[in-house]
Structure 1
Amino acid sequence: MKETQTNNPLHGKTLEMILNELVDYYGWEHLSTKVTINCFTNDPSIKSSLKFLRRTPWARSKVEKVYLEMQDKKSGF
């Protein structure tokens, strides 16, 4: 049986989409203050950040949390 994830705001979003939206909204400098990881502070790029986030679950969780907070801000909650 296939489960639907209608209540999951991350459903259908790739990590790359999430990261691009965060960088567009916050910029690298502000994003690096919200999630303190080297790939956001030292010569940041989408490619290097994706590589790190895909193999580091704790960092990915933090990025997803910041994304959800950003979505709440955008929707006025």
Structure 2
Amino acid sequence: MEKNNKQPQEQPNNPLHGIKLAEILQYLVSEYGWEELGDRIKINCFKSNPTIKSSLKFLRQTPWARTKVENLYLRTIQK
């Protein structure tokens, strides 16, 4: 039997390709701060004792929240 040795495909049209979630979150925190970030994206990990570590854990487990963070990042860098 042959093994399926697929190489990761390039994503030239994906603006998030190669950017880590931690980098996105750190950028947004430096741009807005935790309080404004919590106002812009209504999730508890930004409002109640926020840290990068706890927020990353939540965002990695919660696809809808990660999508909101990624969309805010894309809107922010386009300005």
- With normalisation by structure 2, the TM-score equals 0.86
Matched, 1:46 2:52: yes
Matched, 1:36 2:52: no
Which of the numbers 6, 17, 23 marks the counterpart of 2:23?
A: 17
Determine the C-alpha separation between the residues in 1 that align with 2:52 and 2:10.
29
The runs of at least 4 aligned residues of structure 1 exceeding 4 Å deviation read: none
What count of residue pairs does the alignment treat as equivalent?
73
Deviations 1:22-44 (A, max 9, x none): 00111111111111111100111
Deviation at 1:4, TM superposition (A): 2.1
What's the RMSD between the two structures over aligned residues?
1.2
Structure whose residues are more often helix by fraction: 1
Determine the C-alpha separation between the residues in 1 that align with 2:57 and 2:8.
30
- Higher-Rg structure is 2
For structure 1, which runs of at least 5 residues remain unmatched after alignment? none
